Amino acid sequence: MTREEIYTRLTEQFHESLFEKSDEPFNEFITVQADAWFDIAKYLKNDPELYFDSLMCMSGVDFGPKDDTMEVAYDFHSMRHLHKITTKITGPREDFHIPSVESVWRIADWHEREIYDLFGIIFDGHRNLKRLLLPDDWEGHPLRKDYEVQEYYHGIRVPKIKPKKLTP
Amino acid sequence: MGILENKFNDNIIVGQMDKLIGWARSNSPWYFQFGLACCAIEMMSTAAARHDFDRFGAMPRSSPRQADVMIVAGTVTMKMGLRVRRLWEQMADPKYVISMGSCATSGGPYWQHGYHVLKGVDLVVPVDVYVPGCPPRPEALLEGLMKLQEKVKRQKTLAKIEE
């Protein structure tokens, strides 16, 4: 199935206003509303024609305080039909909630924990949403654009290092 | 040495005893076997047949309580920094630390952008010898160990240290 066919199939099943399609070449993705994401995810997994049984990758993106948006991208692949799709969910930088798909694809467990760890995006319905890589008592989420390194960590001083200006 | 340490006036017997203790200590630097990053590969290579750590009496020990030397081989993250300090506290005196590679010495390539990396293991434990390199060649680590041996040999164990 091509992306067009997948898009048509999704809009037949769900309401069309939930989806938004990008028409850029080589950058094909479908943007999904966060509220309906869990039902759509279950449909993507269980429908025999789509059958996306593999969640290949999950990525978080922070576009900075200027745009005030964050994004999570999901890359799916079907082992049976050998087709692919990318879906994205966008939202605000503060208090961004997304339904967890950890119960649909088990691999999403660690992916979601990592994205929570580094971006602070909250996945509702995750059974064990805590930090994956950093220590539990770490302050802040390091991959956010406005992240500032803490001064002390358990009495260890963290030196402030100013970025060097590049000379032309 | 506890109750005997630095308690005696320096005379010919105490001096010779110190030399003997220094010779014994410097020729059995049993090192604590733990690696944190790619420097550990070089450390393993140093311990293997070609470079042969054993000829200096350096034996890998898997427990901090049996070890004399701690070779911090690799990048120390903040999370690991606390563990490194705890392991160092568990080692029995006399204990020495070799900081191996630029990451353990100063943060190395993570100096500017590594928010999670300890900028030098000397923020956590006292370091005796720094070995530069990224990672250091086995020869460099051997040189570092020989420097440590010199330092241990010069140390006064029984004789009083003059202020």
Q: Would you tell me the crossing angle of helices B39-47 and B138-154 to the nearest 10 degrees?
A: 70
What are the Cα distances from residue B139, in Å, to B37, B47, B52, B135? 18, 11, 10, 11
pTM for this prediction: 0.81
- Topology of domain A3-157, CATH: Beta Polymerase; domain 2 (3.30.460)
Contact yes or no for B74/B117 (Cβ under 8 A): no
| Interface contact A142-B116, CB threshold 8 A | yes
Domain B30-154 = CATH 3.40.50.2000: no
Counting one residue from chain A and one from chain B, the pairs whose CB atoms sit within 8 A come to: 27
Band of the pLDDT at A11, cuts 50, 70, 90? confident
Write the ipTM: 0.72
Tens of pLDDT, residue by residue over A78-105, are: 999 998 889 999 999 888 999 999 999 9
Q: pLDDT per residue over A20-73, tens digit each?
A: 887 777 778 889 998 889 999 999 999 888 899 999 999 999 998 888 899 999
pLDDT at A121 over 70: yes
- Quick one: pLDDT band at residue A163, thresholds 50, 70, 90? low
Residue B129 is predicted with a pLDDT of 94
A154–B119 C-beta distance less than 8 A: no
Give B32-57 pLDDT, tens digit per residue.
Answer: 888 888 999 999 999 999 999 899 98
Asked if the C-beta of A132 comes within 8 angstroms of chain B's C-beta atoms, the answer is: no
Residue B157 above 80 pLDDT?
yes
Task: Give A114's pLDDT tier (boundaries 50, 70, 90).
Answer: very high
Residue B113 pLDDT: 80
Query: Residue A18: beta bridge partners?
Result: none
Q: What pLDDT is stored for residue A168 in this prediction?
A: 66
Domain boundaries, given as residue ranges, for chain B: 30-154
Secondary structure percentages of chain B, helix, strand, coil, to 5: 45, 15, 40
In chain A, positions 72-91, which contact chain B (CB-CB < 8 Å)? none
Least Cα separation, residue A113 to chain B (angstroms): 18
pLDDT of residue A157: 81
Packing angle of the helix pair B12-26, B138-154 (nearest 10 deg) = 160
Cα nearest neighbour of A154 on chain B: B82
Query: For chain A, what percent of residues have pLDDT higher than 70?
Result: 96
Whole-number pLDDT of residue B160: 82
Q: Is the pLDDT of residue B3 over 80?
A: no
Q: Is the Cβ of A57 closer than 8 Å to some Cβ of chain B?
A: no
Residue B158: pLDDT over 80:
yes
**Length of chain B in residues, anyone?**
163
**How close, in Å, is residue B39 to chain A by CA atoms?**
22
Distance of alpha carbon B1 from alpha carbon B5, whole angstroms: 5
pLDDT above 70: residue B1: no
pLDDT at residue B4 in the model: 78
Q: What is the C-alpha separation between A94 and A122, in angstroms, rounded?
A: 10
Give the residue ranges of DSSP H helices in A51-94.
64-67
Give yes or no for residue B163 having a pLDDT over 70.
no
Torsion-angle region of residue A120: left (phi > 0), alpha (psi -120 to 50) or beta? left
Residue B104 makes CB contacts below 8 A (sequence gap 6+) with B36, B39, B72, B73, B74, B75, B76, B120, B121
Distance from CA of B113 to the nearest CA of A (A): 8
Q: Note the maximum CA span of chain B.
A: 55
**What residue of A is the nearest CA neighbor of B106?**
A159
- Tens digits of residue pLDDT in B85-131: 999 999 988 899 999 999 999 888 888 888 888 888 988 999 999 99
**What average pLDDT does the segment B13-41 reach?**
90
pLDDT one-digit tens code per residue, A135-153? 888 888 989 888 888 888 8
Q: What is the mean pLDDT of residues B28-34?
A: 89
Residue A154: predicted pLDDT: 85
The pLDDT mean for chain A works out to 87
